[in-house]
Structure 1
Amino acid sequence: MAAHGLVHTYELSIPILMTIWLLEFSVTAAVLGAVVTVGYGLFGVGALPGGILVDRYGSRRLIVSCLAGMGLSFLLLSVSPTVVTIALALGVWGIAASVYHPAGLALISNGVQDDVRGTAFAYHGMAGNAGIAFGPLATALLLLVVDWRLVAVALAIPALVAAVVGVLASFDETAALEAEAATQDEPIRSLTAFLGGSRRVFTVGFTIVFVLVMFNGLYYRGILTFLPEMLDEFLTTHLGAIELGFFGPDSPVADEFDLAQYVYVGLLTVGIGGQYLGGKLTDRLPPERGVVACLSALVVIALVYTPAAEAGLAPLGAISVALGFVLFALQPLTQATIAKYSPPDSRGLSFGYTYLGIFGVGSLGATIVGGALTYGTTVTVFLILAGFATIACTLAIVLVARDGF
């Protein structure tokens, strides 16, 4: 839970820092979207080799390495003089962070009994959302008083401390698999073993899940990366510069205060409740059905977001709350679906493949949305996102049909 929270602290502090980088380095949203795609892309691409390493070496080593690598990457970010070196630092972060989800989710899948696994996914997801919400909040608050480079240093420290704690912690990684221990396959140590393991993982059901989460990843990365920028446009339309008056026109804080950042953090905080509900639902109904419900809601939200946001502050707040709640309620449901359609002895590989789809292919969502904002409008952005969710929802319906209505 601690590691999950920190992974997403860094992941979602990047969009907050992007609002500074756009001004400091004088680049377009399209260019900066491509830059962060480097880190976010490696965050996903590295999940597959990370999953293989999890099955071979266990979760502890991978999670500790993840924490240490993320801390060092943000130290590198703090001394980056150009957009190119920012891309390099984010690349290091992406490689380090990429191993977390296969390691953490394999740990839950193999270490927690079936009857409470959904609850474990819920608490794990809530920890992630705490990082998703309060990491950017801490980043935004620190930016009020110190330079963004010092903020990057401050963000690096908790991961380095957590890495030490991870070395000292004691737990059983396979508590739920004791009865199956005699039938476990050997860890992947060769290309032949990798190909054989991949064939076992990619059943028809798992293949559908893989494509489903890939399109969900495009939606997730696309909306969250540039939502602060879009919120800023909507809030400026409704409020103008009223937030600056709160501090006074000559206040140094006024130059750094961005109301959109705090609205964004509020949206992410709402996701904590969504994670809890989604996790609880996985203990009470087939997870595919919950996935269908959430994706259907995300289609509707994407189609009505811009009209609602332009209608006034109250509709903007309501649609943003709905987006934050549903977007994150979906996560434990998809994680439980992945576990359902993957073999227990290859959970690391299974989650490696799916997070390759979610964060690797999904990272292109930042580039797509950055381009849509640069050359189109917010309406264009949300129509594209609605298309992603529609495809994913259709695949989820196929899963429900195969499992039996």
Structure 2
Amino acid sequence: MSTAQTDRMSDNDRSITGFVMISHAVVHTYELSIPILMVIWLTEFSVSTAILGSAVAVGYGLFGVGALPAGILVDRFGSRELVLVCLAGMGGSFLLLSAAQGIVSITLALCVWGIAASIYHPAGLSLISTGVEQRGTGFAYHGMAGNFGIAFGPLLTAILLLFFDWRLVTAILVVPAGLAILYALTASFDEKAAVETQPDGGREPADEDTDTGGTTDGQVDNQMSLSRFLSDSRALFTIGFTVAMVVVMMNGLFYRGTLTFLPDVLSDFMPDVVEQLQLFDPDSPMAEEFDPASYLYAGLLMVGMAGQYVGGKLTDRIRTETGLTIIFASLAVVAVLFVPVAEAGLVPLLLIGSVLGFLLFSLQPMYQATIAEYSPPGERGLSYGYTYLGVFGVGAAGAAIAGFLLSIGSIWQTFAALAVFPATGAVLAIVLRRTGDRRA
């Protein structure tokens, strides 16, 4: 794929970028609001953390697992319609949550959310990679919007819960999806403006004279779809793409392992600012609900917006394998130093947390652009389906690993062990550069 050399985005670039930015922000607004609501559900429904955690894990798991079939659908039907389905499904899932009467209905609602949300990343990233000439800049803005949602979701939910019942809060959270749908219906753009492909997306047309052996049209379509999926997957997994996928998994494992328990970790190092600053009456309901670690967590996630922007811009200026190597290596160092620095006081904690957030999210546009470099334009939906199966599906194991490590060791030992993931990612990024089988 050719990439424009100027820094100016075309009208088509801007239209696509705006569309995916809003949609991406909404996806992560919902994703990170769920942990805040879990605190309420534990009391409301008198369930154990194990049961509720398992219920939420099902939804998060589907968020990753569903990405692969979603990627197949993207290559067949295009991105716009599928993103609309994603937005409508997520909004509907939170409407179901507002009426939840127990753990079973919560689980069902979160399953709807996971299935709907799984559509977005293959569809949105495929759209950027095939429709935006300034692809690196598109990935940068897209990532920044995602980080806005990541930080905005828990912050908005925490603030609303200070004033409203959780059921009304989940109903209010339907509004972002509705607004995104209204914007999407007005957006106009060419999904394939940045690539030159055959009308069928780069695949050879099926032989119309093939003997079906007496099978029905539906059976033929199913057989052809399965055969195409298997053949496309075999063609996709070159040595370079395979190594890139393992790099993506290292990111996913570190991402989920770190962020899942970061609010609890931060609370161990946070001073009692409510008492020191006298923000609320100590006996008031707001003082009881206010958790400074949650707001610090949201702030550190907001810093990731800068990381997304810088990482995306760098993909247009340096080889992505080089960027991955540098960022992964830096993350390994930060993971090892995090606890000793955080123990030095509030200011050092803010600094090391900001560096962690910046580096963690600067990885995303780097690996997204790398996947585009190691996959053909006609298979971008499938390639990003596999990518987010790795990031959110395999990566979900990072939460279990971190939880186990925290249960048997100290916070420092946990972070030091998690550093193995970015260290491995740095080594694999060097290996990836040496494969030399870029396909874009």
Task: Provide TM-score, normalisation by structure 1.
Answer: 0.93
Of 69, 80, 83, which residue of structure 1 is paired with 2:103?
A: 83
Instruction: Give the direction of change, closer, same or farther, for the CA distance of 1:29–1:379 in structure 2 (3 Å limit).
Output: farther
Which amino acid in structure 2 is aligned with residue 2 of structure 1?
A: I
Equivalent residue, structure 1, for 2:254: 219
**Pairing of 1:323-338 with structure 2 (within 5 A):** 323-338=356-371
Shift of 1:31: 4.8
Shift of 1:389: 1.6
Shift of 1:132: 1.1
**With CA pairs under 8 Å and 6+ residues apart, which has the higher RCO, 1 or 2?**
1
Alignment of 1:397 with 2:430, yes or no, is yes
For 2:327 and 2:236, how far apart are their aligned partners in 1?
A: 25
Alignment of 1:103 with 2:123, yes or no, is yes
Shift of 1:25: 4.7
Which amino acid in structure 2 is aligned with residue 79 of structure 1?
A: A
Equivalent residue, structure 2, for 1:60: 80
Of 255, 270, 283, which residue of structure 1 is paired with 2:288?
A: 255
For 1:182 and 1:155, how far apart are their aligned partners in 2?
A: 38
Equivalent residue, structure 2, for 1:280: 313
Secondary structure of 2:354's counterpart equals helix
Shift of 1:180: 5.2
For 1:353 and 1:278, how far apart are their aligned partners in 2?
A: 22
The answer to whether the 8 A contact 2:75-2:201 is kept is no
For 2:117 and 2:186, how far apart are their aligned partners in 1?
A: 20
Shift of 1:181: 4.6
Equivalent residue, structure 2, for 1:161: 179
For 1:308 and 1:85, how far apart are their aligned partners in 2?
A: 43
The answer to whether the 8 A contact 1:119-1:279 is kept is yes
Shift of 1:318: 0.9
For 1:394 and 1:367, how far apart are their aligned partners in 2?
A: 24
Equivalent residue, structure 2, for 1:140: 158
Secondary structure of 2:283's counterpart equals coil
Instruction: Give the direction of change, closer, same or farther, for the CA distance of 1:331–1:25 in structure 2 (3 Å limit).
Output: same
Q: Point out the more displaced range, 258-267 or 378-387.
A: 378-387
The answer to whether the 8 A contact 2:248-2:390 is kept is yes
Equivalent residue, structure 1, for 2:411: 378
Shift of 1:160: 2.6
Alpha-carbon deviations, 1:112-155, whole Å to 9, x = none? 12xx2101111111111111112221111111111222221111
For 1:57 and 1:294, how far apart are their aligned partners in 2?
A: 35
Equivalent residue, structure 2, for 1:353: 386
Of 188, 193, 208, which residue of structure 1 is paired with 2:228?
A: 193
For 1:148 and 1:202, how far apart are their aligned partners in 2?
A: 45
Instruction: Give the direction of change, closer, same or farther, for the CA distance of 1:27–1:338 in structure 2 (3 Å limit).
Output: same
Of 25, 47, 57, which residue of structure 2 is paired with 1:5?
A: 25
Q: Any unmatched runs of 5+ in structure 1?
A: none
Alpha-carbon deviations, 1:94-120, whole Å to 9, x = none? 11000100000000000012xx21011
**Pairing of 1:124-135 with structure 2 (within 5 A):** 124-135=142-153
Equivalent residue, structure 1, for 2:138: 120
Shift of 1:370: 2.9
For 2:396 and 2:276, how far apart are their aligned partners in 1?
A: 33
Instruction: Give the direction of change, closer, same or farther, for the CA distance of 1:26–1:233 in structure 2 (3 Å limit).
Output: farther
Of 97, 113, 131, which residue of structure 2 is paired with 1:93?
A: 113
Equivalent residue, structure 1, for 2:167: 149
The answer to whether the 8 A contact 2:305-2:361 is kept is yes
Shift of 1:165: 3.2
Query: How many residue pairs were aligned?
Result: 400
Q: In angstroms, what is the RMSD of aligned CA positions? A: 2.2
For 1:244 and 1:21, how far apart are their aligned partners in 2?
A: 30
Instruction: Give the direction of change, closer, same or farther, for the CA distance of 1:110–1:16 in structure 2 (3 Å limit).
Output: same
Equivalent residue, structure 2, for 1:19: 39
Q: Any unmatched runs of 5+ in structure 2?
A: 1-20, 206-220
Instruction: Give the direction of change, closer, same or farther, for the CA distance of 1:370–1:153 in structure 2 (3 Å limit).
Output: farther
For 2:376 and 2:163, how far apart are their aligned partners in 1?
A: 50
Secondary structure of 1:177's counterpart equals coil
Shift of 1:287: 0.6
Q: Point out the more displaced range, 53-62 or 364-373.
A: 364-373
For 1:143 and 1:226, how far apart are their aligned partners in 2?
A: 21
Which amino acid in structure 2 is aligned with residue 286 of structure 1?
A: R
Instruction: Give the direction of change, closer, same or farther, for the CA distance of 1:376–1:24 in structure 2 (3 Å limit).
Output: farther
For 1:369 and 1:25, how far apart are their aligned partners in 2?
A: 26
Which amino acid in structure 2 is aligned with residue 133 of structure 1?
A: A
- Which structure has more helix as a fraction of its residues? 1
Identical amino acids, percent of aligned pairs: 60
Of 171, 177, 189, which residue of structure 1 is paired with 2:189?
A: 171
The answer to whether the 8 A contact 1:30-1:367 is kept is no
Shift of 1:312: 1.5
The answer to whether the 8 A contact 1:73-1:92 is kept is yes
Please identify the structure whose Cα radius of gyration is greater.
2
Instruction: Give the direction of change, closer, same or farther, for the CA distance of 1:33–1:323 in structure 2 (3 Å limit).
Output: farther
Q: Point out the more displaced range, 37-46 or 225-234.
A: 225-234
Task: Provide TM-score, normalisation by structure 2.
Answer: 0.86
Which amino acid in structure 1 is aligned with residue 132 of structure 2?
A: V
The answer to whether the 8 A contact 2:151-2:299 is kept is yes
Alpha-carbon deviations, 1:245-283, whole Å to 9, x = none? 320123221111110111011101101110000000000
The answer to whether the 8 A contact 2:342-2:348 is kept is yes
